[in-house]
Amino acid sequence: AQSVTQPDIHITVSEGASLELRCNYSYGATPYLFWYVQSPGQGLQLLLKYFSGDTLVQGIKGFEAEFKRSQSSFNLRKPSVHWSDAAEYFCAVAGQFYFGTGTSLTVIP
Amino acid sequence: NAGVMQNPRHLVRRRGQEARLRCSPMKGHSHVYWYRQLPEEGLKFMVYLQKENIIDESGMPKERFSAEFPKEGPSILRIQQVVRGDSAAYFCASSPWGEETQYFGPGTRLLVL
């Protein structure tokens, strides 16, 4: 069965620091993987997606993610976090579209 | 190109009333998905529709909930005889035929008093 796990419920980083949000998936075949961001009271905005090819994918707002089949992971990274990045981040796997429970990011000045 | 539209953005209902949530997909998108987000939780898939056809409703509660996507007009998620536990944010997403990427609307926040 498909599933997505985001082990970190909440992460706090200082502005300018690097960021890595973890995502592990369970899927029988080659997965289609996504990262979305949700600001308070808003809908979900697509950050990036992986379907095939290069395992390092670039997204909007300076985010990138790396697909590692051996670890069943699709971690999201950003080299330098901005205060405006504070939001809820969701990893998802396509098929029926399963979402992780989300990681809430707080950015401190 | 307008994004996915949902209305109303906020909806207040008393227990026992009906709630109708509307979703207009992006232009050219033929697939619509509905999700529910409870407070402090992720999104849970409810139903996947194409025009005039329900493809997958495995996430829909068996009673009181129904969805449609008619040939003309928006997709409708209907909740009959609402209960307090139905209070949540309901999101709609759309995708074009043959594409996996889903584009989300701003959601409808339903509050049942």
**pLDDT by residue (tens digit) across B11-28?**
999 999 999 999 999 998
Q: In this structure, what DSSP letter does residue A2 have?
A: -
Tell me the mean pLDDT in the region B94-102.
Answer: 88
B4 neighbourhood in chain A, CB within 8 Å: 43
Residues B9, A57: contact at Cβ < 8 Å?
Answer: no
Rounded Cα distance, B59 and B65, in Å: 10
Residues B32, B11: contact at Cβ < 8 Å?
Answer: no
Tell me the mean pLDDT in the region B99-109.
Answer: 91
The residue with tokens 């999201």 is: A76
pLDDT of residue A30: 77
pLDDT at residue B2 above 80? no
pLDDT of residue B1: 54
Residues A61, A19: contact at Cβ < 8 Å?
Answer: no
B59 neighbourhood in chain A, CB within 8 Å: 96
The residues on B that touch A, with CB distances below 8 Å, are 4, 6, 33, 35, 41-45, 48, 56, 58-59, 91, 93, 100-107, 109
Residues B18, B65: contact at Cβ < 8 Å?
Answer: no
